[in-house]
Each structure stands twice: as C-alpha cells, then as structure tokens.
A and B are shown apart, each in its own frame.
Chain A
Amino acid sequence: MQQGLTIVKRMDTMLPSKKHYLLTAVLLMVNAALIFAAFFQPPAVTVSEPTNVVYNASTQTVQLDSLTLEQKIAQMIVTYGHEHRAEQLQNLLIGGVHIGAQASPEAFREMIDSFQRNATIPFLVTADLEGCINPFSAFRTFPAFKNIDSVNAAYQTGDAQGELLRRLGFDATFAPVVDLNDTIWQCRSFEDSPRMTAKKANAYIDGLQEHGIIATAKHYPGKTLIEKDPHKELSSATVSHRDLVPFQETMRNNVSAIMPSHVIVNGTVRSYGKPADASQQLIAQLRSQFNGLIVTDEIRMDGLQQHYETQEAMYRDMFQAPNDLILYFDSDPRQLQDLITTVAAAVREGTIAEERIDASVKRIMEAKGWTVRGKREEQTHKNAQGS
C-alpha cells in the first residue's frame, strides 16, 4: 500500500492539470482561427456585363464618359490570359490579355477568340516574342537577337514575326529589347554598339509595325538585364548616354510603345530613388519626349515590390506616374478588383488626377484602333444596336 502511494506521489506531476486542458482549448481555438484565415475564400467575384458602356462596334468608337472610373482604370491593365477567366475579365473591362505559349496556330487563334468573342471593347492582345523568348517555338522558330548580324536580317525577323502575330490575332509584342547587354539570358539583346543596336532595333520595329503590330522598346532607360546577384532582380544602375541612344532613336522612328524598367536609375536619367516605372519625374520626362504607349513591366516582380511596404503604395505610384498600361499578370478577379479599387480611391481622394487616367485610356483605345468620343448623342448604345 505504502509503495503504491509513493508511486502515485512520484507520478503526481504527470497527472493532467487545468493548464493542460486550457492549453488544449487555446490551441484548438487558435488553429480554428488559422484554418479559417488560411482557407476561407471570399465569395467569387461576380461582375455583370458592362451594359453602361456606350460604344459602336462597327465604327469602333466609344464614349469615354460612359465608362465608370473603375472601368477606365481596368482598361489600363494587361493581365495574363487564363481562358477560364475570359468572361470575368470581359465584365471587368480589363484592357489587355497576355497570351502564353500554345501548341499550334489554331490553339492561339482559339485562345484569343475566347477573349475577343464577347468582349464589349476588344482586349489588347500581347505577347513576349523578344530576343530569344519565343512562345511560338512549338511550331515556329526565329533567330535570337544576339545572332542577328545585319540591319536587313533584323527587318526580316520583325517582318516575319509581325506577319505571324497579326495572323494569329495579336496586337502587340513586348519587343525589341534595346538594352545594350543581356548577361542573364545572353540572347535577348542585339549585343552591339549603341548605334548599331538602334539601327537593328528600328529595322525590326519597322518590320513589326508594317503589319500593324505594336512594338515595345525596352527596358527604359537601359541596363536592366545586367546580372549582379542571379537570385535577385537588379535594383539599381547608373545609366549613361550610350544606354539612351537606342531609346532616342526608336522614339524618332515612331516606335509605338516603350517599357520602363523596375530599376532605380542614376546618371544621365534619374528616377530619384524609385523604380523607373514608378518614378513620376522619370515617366513624366519620358512622356514629354514620347507620345506613344508607356507600358510598365510586370508589377509583381521582386525588383519592384521590394521597394514598397504595401501593395497599395506601389499601385498608387504606378498609376500616379503617367504610365498608360500596367502589366499585372495575376488574373484572379479578386486581386484585379483590389488593384482597381485602390487606384479608384486614390483618384477620388485627388492623389491621382482623373484627367491623367482619361489621357491614358484615350491612347489605349487608339492603340486598339478605336476612337474616343465625348458626345453621348453621337453614340449608339450596345443594346440598341445589338452588337
């Protein structure tokens, strides 16, 4: 008996106490909350067809003031073209879709048609056919930029790519890369002197644009594809006049679009501590020399995001700077709506001028071959004209 009691006394500390049960209860509650936070999905975004938009598909005209502020902001976004989200992107009135690789020309056409078929305002359909990156490589090859050894070969490449892009239903390609060097992929730039890079780029641009394809000289103001730490995006660079030569020359040659980079730049061009495409001063300076489309690089890349504590701050900067098109490749409608709502709030607060949004939307519509009108009576409502 005594021996047993001794054992019990020794084991006494092993008996469950209130704190054990309390800990269990607390952990259960914490886990329930975490599971809810981790896996609760807000209701799917349901945006109905934008019946407010006054437009005429046959004359390709749209009345700008019939678009809500949110719809105008949506027109400034190019997102990734996931086919299953076509209807939601159409209803949000997203401005453009970027199409990734497909297995055949037919697959490209079907994919693009799935977006354009019921779109109120057609999407600007974009591709990354740049240097040595080729979404058509399953059925068509092109020379890498670094292997293009003459101005004529550059034109032939642009011409062939322009013909293919137009035939498949594309409107734009984010090419040519006119950075003087590419030490990362080692094939995306012409790897030539500034003058020769500019000549080849202009010939290539001519080839593309003769087919009505928007060419994009990138990444302004240069030195973007220089590797420092391969695990990180380059965050800052000093640009010189040499870097700017291809951009100045392509602008003179009426390139349709320019893509600024996420790099903080100093030197001949300065971005004042912000990534180039988020710098109001830099983009405004570029705008003063260039009347075409200014298209940001994809805005979720580390090189950009690491400069901001919150996404809201980044969104505001990207839209405050006079960029026209913002590449945002997360096509989740919830994320897109979050972006649009944030920017709309900034416009309503007066941080971003609505006139600046309107100016970009006009440029985007013109790039799509559409005309923006201001008088309601000149328009035919979609429902009335049955388009």
Chain B
Amino acid sequence: MIHTGATYWPIIENTYKTTAQITGRIKQEGFVMRTIVLINSSLIVLTILLLAYLLLPVNSITGAMTALAAEEPHCYLQTNNATKPLAMQSCCYYAQQQLTCDTQENGNISCYTGQHTQTYVVNAAGADYCQKNGYYVAQ
C-alpha cells in the first residue's frame, strides 16, 4: 500500500508509540524517499540523453553527452602550410574517402591518405555528426 504524506501521520501515531520507533521509521521512509528521488533524477537525465541522441546529430549516448556538454562539431582541413575550418558536410564527405583515420590524444580524429596531402581533423562531436549523417569517419 502506498501512503501519502497527508494520510501517513495518523498511521504513525497509532502504530508507533515510542520515540525510538518513530525515529526508526523516519530513517526507513527517508531512505525510500532518497531512493525514489535518486531513481527519478536518473530517469530524467536518461530521458534528456535519449532525447539528445534522437534529436541532435550524434551517433551514440556518449556523443549525446558530448553534445549536451556544448561541444560543437568541428572540422579542420590541414594542408602542407595551413590549417583552416571546413564545413562539416564537406568534411565528412572527404574524410570518409581517406585511407586511414587515427584517434589523437585529445580525442580528435584525423583522416588522411598519403603524405603531403590533405588531412581532415574532426573533434569527437564532429565524428558523431559524420556518423549520424551516414558518413563513416572512424578509426
């Protein structure tokens, strides 16, 4: 049976006659309350992550967490003498066509074919963006 706060007080009064009994019951109910609050909070976080996964251009729950952490998808084109930002879809299009993709220490993924050519560097959110849009850009 579920007792609401309003109905609970008379039950307590009739059932528990000593301070020790009442204090024990408080602790027990406090634990249940904390557990419920914890479960509900976790479920709310999970709901937000799942909604982010479904609605944002990410490819995994990790990607959703990254996206929620406000990391924008980024891509940089590195040539012999310059590094410059590139529009994401062009980046995904060309990055997918490269021979090799490596994950760097900072979590970025760099895709390239031979030496002295272009390297396409995407951050984790960028890699998720590509994947979500059907471009395979991963190690």
Contact = CB atoms under 8 A, between A and B. Distances in A.
Contacts of A17: 4-5
Interface stretch (A27-35, A48-56, A68-76, A364-372): A27-35
B2 A1 contact: no
Contacts of A135: 97, 99, 113
Contacts of B77: 184-185
Interface residues of A, number: 62
Interface in B69-111: 77, 79, 82, 84-90, 93-94, 96-99
A44 interface: no
Interface in B1-42: 2-5, 8-9, 12-13, 17-19, 22-23, 25-26, 29-30, 32-33, 36-37, 39-40
B58 to A, nearest CB: 11
A14 B33 contact: yes
Contacts of B134: 300, 329-332, 335
A93 to B, nearest CB: 20
A17 B86 CA distance: 54
A257 B29 CA distance: 76
Contacts of A100: 96-99
Contacts of A233: 87, 89-90
Contacts of B40: 20, 23-24, 27
B29 A134 contact: no
Nearest to A102: B99
A301 interface: yes
B114 A34 contact: no
A301 B90 contact: yes
A8 B9 contact: yes
How many of chain B's residues touch chain A, expressed as a range? Answer: 35 or more
A98 B136 CA distance: 14
A265 to B, nearest CB: 18
A384 interface: no
Contact of B23 (A7, A132, A133, A335): A7
A20 B44 CA distance: 13
Given A18-B2, A133-B94, A134-B113, A302 B135 contact: no
Nearest to B114: A137
B62 interface: no
Contacts of A133: 94, 118
- Interface SS of B by simple majority: helix
Given A133-B118, A138-B113, A7 B79 contact: no
B97 A101 contact: yes
A13 B89 contact: no
B76 to A, nearest CB: 10
Contacts of B87: 230-233, 301-303
B68 interface: no
Given A8-B9, A24-B43, A138-B99, A329 B93 contact: yes
29 contacts: A1-B19, A4-B19, A4-B23, A7-B26, A8-B12, A12-B5, A12-B8, A14-B33, A15-B29, A16-B32, A20-B33, A20-B36, A24-B43, A30-B43, A34-B54, A37-B54, A82-B136, A100-B96, A138-B99, A141-B116, A185-B79, A187-B79, A233-B90, A300-B134, A301-B93, A302-B87, A303-B89, A305-B89, A329-B135
Interface of B: 2-5, 8-9, 12-13, 17-19, 22-23, 25-26, 29-30, 32-33, 36-37, 39-40, 43-44, 46-47, 50-51, 53-54, 77, 79, 82, 84-90, 93-94, 96-99, 113-118, 133-136
In the complex, the 4 A-B pairs of residues with the closest C-beta atoms, listed nearest first: A330-B134, A137-B114, A27-B43, A4-B19
Given A4-B18, A16-B36, 14 more contacts: A4-B19, A4-B23, A16-B2, A17-B4, A20-B40, A21-B2, A31-B50, A34-B47, A128-B97, A137-B113, A184-B77, A300-B89, A300-B134, A335-B134
Interface of A: 1, 3-5, 7-9, 11-18, 20-21, 23-24, 27-28, 30-31, 34-35, 37-38, 80, 82, 98, 100-103, 128, 132-135, 137-139, 141, 184-187, 230-233, 298, 300-303, 305, 329-332, 335
